[in-house]
A = this chain, B = another copy of it.
């Protein structure tokens, strides 16, 4: 029951009526006849499918976000071998669709969700393997920690996947993957599966089992049309798209943009988030907004020795170490970070990052959702 601050002893005894008791004499509650009536009322409420707000208010409407999800770190060194083992035992095919293994937040038992809105998974494709085409209303991306040799085919457009690249699969685009190389490849998959499930918005459709275009161009058609900075094809100009038509954000560009921010910082010009901390957001060139409708994606670079100030956000996020070593402080607990480690930051958890070496981190969050609902709050004020 809601008791905020100084709850008096009397109230604590009256478990059926807390919160409404203030004006009722304590004696009344001890009255057995009243207690019996109350018990009968609550039974009848139950039978009618009714729940009194006064018995649940604090749980339903907490003072601050009180997520069930907890801050958590998954170790790449553990994830990757397990994914590799599964490749020896479980083939990829129609029905299961993908050799993707979701990371479950310990605070959300039973659901393989990294946060209440975000799915994060390691996907693994063995040499010469392919995953059949399908489409779904869920938005998706792949972030490539290491390796190459896989093409993801998005609405018939083959997109090479290589180290450091971010590849998009906006909602309701057909897509499949195939590995043309002799080495396996693993990457991070991010989706809004939990959000879409909660909101009951999921549609799913199978496409062909064989990819419709197995060519392996260096650059996808989307990149050829949309990959020049600030240039828009006149044939489609003036028509904002929900999600980015640019399906690949290449590491060479991301790396150069981060490097430029830090150099400009050295030269005394603005651009970085804060001293020693560069960051780029992956955006939709038709709007300037987030590349995906429901998921924000960013790459951060911290110079060795940089420590970010505390920050809280009501958006929940997932991070992956792309390169380097450091520490993340989540609600005051420190976790050492190594290459490939993934961690979840629930709503309103306190986040601080510290870089031992130069540290590159990829992150994705549900911030676009929270912003669109005008609910986003952030707090970066220092604490005593």
Residues of B within 8 A of A214 (CB): none
What class of interface size applies to chain A in its complex with B?
35 or more
* B2 and A96 within 8 A (CB): yes
Q: Contact partner of A20 among B95, B136, B244, B316, CB < 8 A?
A: B95
Which chain A residues in 55-90 approach chain B with CB under 8 Å? 55-57, 60-67, 69, 72, 74, 78-79, 82, 85-86, 88-90
Knowing A226-B229, A282-B230, A288-B286, the reply to whether A60 touches B221 (Cβ < 8 A) is: no
Pick the interface stretch among A141-149, A262-270, A331-339.
Answer: A262-270
- Chain B residues whose C-beta falls within 8 Å of the C-beta of A136 in the assembled complex: 61
Q: Within the assembled complex, what's the spacing in Å between the Cα atoms of A375 and B191?
A: 14
Contact between A101 and B234 (Cβ–Cβ < 8 Å)? no
User: How many copies of this protein are present in the complex?
Assistant: 4
Contact B101 A51 (CB under 8 A): yes
Q: Given the complex of chains A and B, what is the CA–CA distance between A222 and B114 in angstroms?
A: 37
Most B Cβ at <10 Å: residue of A5, A53, A280, A366:
A53
Q: Are B61 and A204 interface neighbours, CB within 8 A? A: yes
Tell me whether B374 and A95 are in contact (CB under 8 A).
Answer: no
B contact residues around A260 at 8 Å (CB)? 224-225
Please, which residue of chain B has its CB at the minimum distance from the CB of A371? B238
Q: Assess the A288–B197 pair: CB atoms within 8 A.
A: no
Quick one: which of A92-109 are within 8 Å of B by CB? 92-106
Asked if A382 is at the interface of the complex by the 8 Å CB criterion, the answer is: no
Name the CB-closest residue of B to A100.
B53
Contact of A240 with B by CB under 8 A: yes
Cβ contacts A to B, 26 pairs, < 8 Å: A2-B95, A4-B95, A5-B95, A19-B93, A37-B89, A41-B85, A49-B104, A49-B106, A51-B102, A52-B100, A53-B96, A53-B101, A53-B121, A57-B96, A63-B205, A200-B346, A203-B377, A225-B271, A228-B253, A228-B280, A234-B281, A240-B288, A284-B288, A286-B288, A287-B288, A288-B288
| CB-based contact A44/B121 at 8 Å | no
Name the segment of A21-29, A302-310, A319-327, A351-359 touching the other chain. Answer: A21-29
Are B19 and A89 in contact, CB atoms less than 8 angstroms apart?
no
- The one of B82, B226, B366 in contact with A45, judged by C-beta atoms closer than 8 angstroms, is B82
